[in-house]
Every structure is written in structure tokens, then in C-alpha cells.
Chains A and B, each alone.
Chain A
Amino acid sequence: MTVGIVVVSHSRALADAAVELARQMLPGRELAVAVAAGTEDGGLGTDAAAVADAIGQADSGEGVVVLMDLGSAVLSAETALEFLDDDVRSRVTLSAAPLVEGLVGAVVVAASGASRQSVAAEADRGLAPKQAHLSS
């Protein structure tokens, strides 16, 4: 049982591509990564009910870390928490990490069986390698 990951984006294509990029880090390993992205008609937008569903899909009981792009993705993820049962809500972390970098770090650590707190912390460190490289 591992921590699940949810990706919330305005764009289904952006979310799917970010997940594909992150899954490259997990050859042969399983990890629950659910996506809530775009509007029903395929446009750009977010849907709090879809985020709540995605959290339900990704949660195996070990909790979920939610990565988001910007703006309404954040507000929809916060709104989604209201739709969850208390016990599920208590094991969800909304991550302030940048979406792509945070997601890559999060999936690697999550697949190793780490705790939700460790996964969220790794996501938060997502920018560090890029910052270190460009500042040296």
C-alpha cells in the first residue's frame, strides 16, 4: 500500500503528459496516480467534484498528495475537500509544489512506500535540483 497521487490541472493534455513524464521514473512499478483535469467538454478548466472523485480513486487508505497547476485548480482542490468524508479528508495533503517538478519527486518517493508527509516534503523540494544547477 502506497500513498496515492492526484494531479489537478486546467488541461487534460497537460496533466496526462506530466503523469507520463513522472511515470518514466517508475519502470515496472505500480503507483495510483489519478487525474482531474479539464472541463467535461474537453476545454480548459477544473471541477471540484472530479477532484473529489480522483482523491477517492487514488486513496488506498494510506492517504493522497494532490499536485495542482494554478488558480482555479487550487480553489477546486480546496473545495473538493469539503465533499470528502472526514476520515478521507484527514489523510489528504494539498501540495504547494510546482506541478511538474513536484510530481516527479512525489511519485518516486511514494512508490518507495514512504509516508504521506515524506511524499509531500519531497514534492516541496522539487525545484531544488533546478535551482542548484542554475545558480552554480
Chain B
Amino acid sequence: MSVAVGVDDLTAWLRRFAEVVHERRDELTALDAAIGDADHGSNMDRGMAAVVAVLDDAPPTDAAGLLKKTGATLVSKVGGASGPLYGTLFLRMAGAAGDGDLDDAAVARALRAGLEGVLARGKAEAGDKTMVDALGPACDALDAGVGAGKPLADALAAAAEAAAQGRDATVPLVARKGRASYLGERSAGHMDPGATSVTMLVEAAAATMGRS
């Protein structure tokens, strides 16, 4: 049975993601220090803290509005490439969300639209050692689960598992996008920070949405 995802669920998801990013910011920054510019944890923490401030102060009252405001906040407050990338993810989700609450299929469609926005913005492909390597498999698993009629919570759990596998599979890859690409072959042997944080995002969704 389809469970409607509304503002409360999205708020719980965003707050959970912000908590995890804050708790694990040093881990994200350490991953980024190995192959990038050592700011992914602090950047994402700053961005999500700004999103939480919006949720606390003046949250939009519809799902699409909330997703749009989240995206607009992230493009402004994150600072690094994750700003436009995560920002575009949420802006595209907002565009795909339509009016009112989201049913299971709409959640899957919105996340897929977010992935396509990330692909268009970052011009990364699968295997480039980016967030796409975790988010892509997560979308595939979510589509498959929802398409098979699984409860949303189960489909999101499968998506989180697929994201984690994709994240782990970035370790041997050579980076072809972003700062890490300057390192060439030396980027191999390290887990990608963006794939790690987006796995946290999907895990936070699995922990909060479709459970009512």
C-alpha cells in the first residue's frame, strides 16, 4: 500500500540527514582531505545547518516548496561543488514533486529527477568516482522496489543498501571529476566523499520515510 510522503516526512528526513552529517563531518572531511580540498564535511554541515534553520524558522508548508527551499539554501550556503550539486538535486526533486504529498511512485520519480539534475550539472558518469556512483544504484533499487509493489520503507531500505554498495565500490576507482581528478591514479584506494555523503542522505530517507 502506498504511503503519502508529505512535509512532515521530508522534514524528518532533512533533519536526520543534517544530524548524521554533523556527527560524521570529520569523517567526510578526512575522506576529502585524502583526495580533494578537505572541506566536504564542514561544507555539508554548514549547508544542512542552514536548512535546519529554515525548518525551524519559516518552513514552506508544501512538499515541493520545502524541497525547493532546501535546494536554494544549499546552493547558497555549502560553498563547494556540493552546493550546486546537492542544491540541483533538491531543486529537481521539487520540480518533479508536483502539488501536494508524494505517493511511493512520486518519491521514486523525484529522486530520479534529482539524479538527472546532478548528472546534468556535474557532467559525471557512472564510474567517475562521484556521488553518482551511490545515487544511481539507489535510484535503480528504489524504482525496482516501488515498481514491484514493495512498501516504500522496504524500497528505501534496498536503495540505501544499493547506495552503500556503490559508495564502497568507489574505493578502487580513479577520479575523473572534481578536485580529486587532479590526483589522477593517486585518487585510487580512497572512498569518494560525495558518494559517502549521498549514501547518508539515502540512509536518512530509509530511516524516516514511509514508516507511518
Contact = CB atoms under 8 A, between A and B. Distances in A.
Given A45-B43, A75-B121, A79-B121, A50 B80 contact: no
Interface in B76-99: 76-85, 87-88, 91
Interface residues of B, number: 22
A76 B83 contact: yes
Residue in B76, B91, B121 with the greatest tally of chain A CB atoms within 10 Å: B76
B72 interface: yes
Contacts of B79: 39, 43-47, 72
Interface residues on A, range: 10 to 19
B43 A79 contact: no
Contacts of A44: 39, 79
Interface of B: 39, 43, 46, 72, 75-85, 87-88, 91, 121-122, 178-179
A98 to B, nearest CB: 16
Contact of B121 (A39, A43, A46, A78): A78
Contacts of B75: 47-49, 76, 79
A91 B78 CA distance: 27
A71 B32 CA distance: 14
Interface string A57-88: 00000000000000110011011001000000
A28 to B, nearest CB: 37
A72 B80 contact: yes
Contacts of B39: 44-45
Nearest to A71: B81
Nearest to B181: A71
